[in-house]
Structure formats: C-alpha cells, structure tokens
Amino acid sequence: MYDNFFKRLPNKDIKNQAALNKAGHTLASPHWNRLAIGGAAILTQPFIDGHNPRVDKDTARASMLRTTGKIIACTSVGFVVRGACYKLTNKFMHATKAEGSTLLTPKAILNELDPKVRENMLKLHKNAFSTVSALGVMLFTNPLADAPLTTILSNKFLAIDSKRQHKEAHA
C-alpha cells in the first residue's frame, strides 16, 4: 500500500542542495523555530476560537481577537528573546579557542578529537543552551513584556472591531 503511494509522488533531484540545507539550518535555530510555531498558531487558533459552537457569536469574536493579540505578542517577544540568547550563545561558545570564546563550551566538546562529532555536539549544545537560557529570561519577560503587550493588542483589536460593528449597525 505504501509503496504505491510513494511511487506516485514525483521524484525530482534537488538542484540547490546548499540553499535547502541553509534554510533547514536557519529554521532549526530556536528563534526562527518560535516564529514558525507562532505562524502556525496565527493560522489556526483564531479560527478555532471564532467558530466555537459552545459560546455566542460575540464571545467567540472577542475570544478570537484576544487570541490573535496574544499570539502576536508572545511570538514577537519570544522571537526577540530567543534570538538574543542564540546570538549570545554563538558569541561565547566555540569548539576551539582559535574560533573564539569557549566560555560556555563544555569540556566534553572541547576534548572531542573527531571534528565532525565535535561540530555536531557543539551545534546541539548551542541550540539546547540558548533555548534553556531563553526560557529563564522569559520568566521575566512574560509578566514584564508579554502580558502588557497582549493586553494592549487585544484591546486595540477589540476597539477596532467595535467601531466596525458600530458602523455596520448604522449603515
């Protein structure tokens, strides 16, 4: 069954493998990953909230607008925080002293003799370290940035929607 499915898919060679690898590497970094998750959320969650059959139409609309504000705020702050942590991690974590600072590099990585293994270990450690450090930073940015920005955006979206509904009612 699966063989028939895969036989019907077009089989094309990738012409620009370097560009595809670069795109994959970029999307694998924590901040771009957060942006991708936020993009998926903005495409799905407001729709789900707006079409909730268990609440009345006005409540569903308000929920949809609040959710949109929250997704935009949290994705923006998360992208910036994770990006900053990733850049700082890259600045202070290298496989050798010749490449730059090894301040954050574990000794196991520095002592690895095989360059390919060392590079892979470093890449995995950089992603994990920057994600964990960003989570620590977000303990502070969630109440200080995400929550107020969510409130501001949600109120703005609700005000715009209220004006639109008022115009439609008096048209």
- The alpha carbon of 171 is separated from its chain's Cα centroid by a whole number of angstroms, namely 41
Confidence check: pLDDT of 170 > 90: no
Q: What percent of the chain has pLDDT over 90?
A: 66
Give the model's pLDDT for residue 1.
64
Angle at which helices 30-50 and 17-28 pack, to 10 degrees? 70
d(CA 161, CA 144): 27
Model confidence, pTM: 0.80
pLDDT tens-digit series, residues 41-91:
999 999 999 999 999 999 999 999 999 999 999 999 999 999 999 999 999
Q: What crossing angle do the helices spanning 115-141 and 30-50 adopt, rounded to 10°?
A: 50
- Helix 57-92 crosses helix 30-50 at what angle (to 10 degrees)? 180
Element (H or E) spanning 71, and its range? helix 57-92
The one-letter code for the residue type at 101 is S
Distance, in Å, from the CA atom of 125 to the CA atom of 109, rounded to the nearest integer, reads: 9
pLDDT digits (tens, 9 = 90+) for 61-70: 999 999 999 9
Residue 27: per-residue pLDDT: 79
- Tell me the mean pLDDT in the region 113-135: 91
Neighbours of 86 (CB within 10 A): 22
Looking at every residue in the chain, the average pLDDT score rounds to 91
Distance CA 99, CA 169 (A): 65
pLDDT, one tens digit per residue, over 24-46 is 877 778 888 899 999 999 999 99
SS3 48: helix
